[in-house]
Amino acid sequence: MKVFEELGALIEERWKNKNYDEEVFSSIAQQALMEADLLNRVDPWEIVRWTQAATQLPLQQDIDAKFGNPPITLYNGSRFYIDVYFWLDGTTEIHQHSFCGAFQVLAGSSIHSHYAFELIEEINSRFLVGNTALKGVKLLREGDTQQILPGNQYIHALFHLERPSATITIRTYGLPKNQPQYSYLKPHIAHDPFYKEPQTIRRLQTTSLLLQMKHAEADSFVADLLSHSDFQTAFYVLQTAFTYFSENDLASLFNASSIMKRFDALMQTARLRHGALVDFLPPVFDEMRRLTNIVKRRATITDSDHRFFLALLLNVPDREKILELVKSRYPEREPAEVVTDWVDELTTTRVYGSTEPNLLGMADFDDLHLFVFQCMLVGMSEDEIKHALHKEYSAEQAKELEGRIEGIKNVLANSLLFKYLFSTSGQPAPAETANVVAQEV
């Protein structure tokens, strides 16, 4: 497309004048995007039309569409290229980049989260243990641009709100000194998802085979593997087992206790070999369960407000920050009332064909649950909630309902969806470095 040929030529000329210095490419790309006025010159659907009608496209970079639904290369230069990424239900995991550049929101909006990673122990160059902490979160709207910086100075994640969303990305090819390109599993693991070691892959595949076929000796096979595996392989094996147990919905409904005993036994086998390092893993698996729960719900929801709410629950482990972001989107309303309305809508709506009671999967969610939810959202203590109850209901009703408040508070605070919304500490506390350093593994 002509507009992107012009944009690519402009960036090429400016970068050449800086001797192709990678340190300045991000600022050059961002400035060019801000000058290009793409929002008024480019219709995302014209890109789709062009893709389907053109006799020849630029060389397509991500032909397997591993990033985007789909990605389309619009300009292909010798040192950088320009893509558009369409997003339906794609949520990017926390990651850093081995390249540099910039992106601009062309359609839709997203929650953009920025993280830092404090290294505790380098297991090897492709697998790290440490603490991942949220540094900031913002709402990106159409026309907003962001620089992409290489390496751990730019660890981020995006949650796309509208369906679809589209972003224009200008990026270099891989920069050797910024390899590997880590992905992060909160709160403690950084790993290279692009590293493919055949022996490990086959071991994970056979682990999955044994579990899915319900082999009588599956746990024994997996335990034997864990007993002689390095820590990186042990984590991937445990991750495979955890994913299987978590996704086995029927079993988890009727045999949750026995399933957790099976997984705990595998964890203990890994602990016998790797000691205190294994203590970093339970919070990682707990977070995986929480993320999976929210992402699955997001796949059934198309309303932009509800997707925005789930994006906040997914990415922001801080009640006050969530309310602040709601206020920025709806400045004319009280944020706690907005959130309470969303919860009311989600808990009174069912998905056709689903066995769950409502879109949030919370059974027996009645008016008192909603009342307690709003009270907790504004930071009320249990005594304050009881006092508010007597203002909302008649004396007789309030006295009858008082006894349910503690139980409802516990249900809400311990739910996967609202775990961090009502947590007193926000995201999981960082693990102690000394526990690992002192342990021989």
| pLDDT more than 70, % of the chain | 93
The answer to whether residues 337 and 284 belong to one domain is: no
Inter-CA distances, 415 with 322, 328, 412, Å: 17, 26, 5
- On whether residue 60 sits in a domain, the answer given is yes
The answer to whether residues 287 and 394 belong to one domain is: no
Query: What would the pLDDT profile of 72-114 be if each residue is shown by its tens digit?
Result: 999 999 999 999 999 886 566 899 999 999 999 999 988 899 9
The answer to whether residues 260 and 322 belong to one domain is: no
Rounded-to-integer distance, Cα 385 and Cα 391, Å: 10
Q: Which residue, of 191, 226, 252, is where some domain finishes?
A: 191
* pLDDT score recorded for residue 123: 97
* pLDDT score recorded for residue 176: 85
The answer to whether residues 68 and 142 belong to one domain is: yes
- On whether residue 341 sits in a domain, the answer given is yes
253 with 361: CB under 8 angstroms? no
H/E stretch holding 231:
helix 231-247
Query: What would the pLDDT profile of 177-194 be if each residue is shown by its tens digit?
Result: 888 999 999 999 999 999
User: Tokens for 431?
Assistant: 């693990």
- pTM of the predicted model as reported, rounded to 2 decimal places: 0.86
The answer to whether residues 281 and 337 belong to one domain is: no
Q: Cis before residue 164, ω within 30 degrees of 0?
A: yes
CATH code of the domain containing 12: 2.60.120.10
* pLDDT score recorded for residue 437: 32
Q: How many structural domains does the chain have?
A: 3
In 69-101, which positions are buried (b, 16+ CB within 10 angstroms) versus exposed (e)? bbbbbbbbbeebbbbbbbbebbbbebbbbbbbb
Domain residues for 130? 2-191
The answer to whether residues 85 and 232 belong to one domain is: no
Angle at 289 between CA 283 and CA 290, to 5 degrees: 90
The answer to whether residues 46 and 166 belong to one domain is: yes
Instruction: Work out the end-to-end distance of the chain between its first and last CA atoms, rounded to an integer number of angstroms.
Output: 56
Q: Which residue, of 191, 208, 225, is where some domain finishes?
A: 191
- On whether residue 422 sits in a domain, the answer given is no
Rounded-to-integer distance, Cα 61 and Cα 31, Å: 23
- On whether residue 279 sits in a domain, the answer given is yes
* pLDDT score recorded for residue 280: 97
The answer to whether residues 175 and 45 belong to one domain is: yes
The answer to whether residues 129 and 147 belong to one domain is: yes
* pLDDT score recorded for residue 334: 95
- On whether residue 428 sits in a domain, the answer given is no
Q: Which residue, of 162, 191, 220, is where some domain finishes?
A: 191
Taking 70 as the pLDDT cut, the residues of the chain under it are 89-92, 249-257, 352-353, 424-441
The answer to whether residues 258 and 210 belong to one domain is: yes
- On whether residue 360 sits in a domain, the answer given is yes
The answer to whether residues 39 and 184 belong to one domain is: yes
The answer to whether residues 19 and 93 belong to one domain is: yes
* pLDDT score recorded for residue 89: 67
Q: Which of 103, 57, 74 is nearest to 3 (CA)?
A: 74
Rounded-to-integer distance, Cα 325 and Cα 345, Å: 20
- On whether residue 430 sits in a domain, the answer given is no
- On whether residue 44 sits in a domain, the answer given is yes
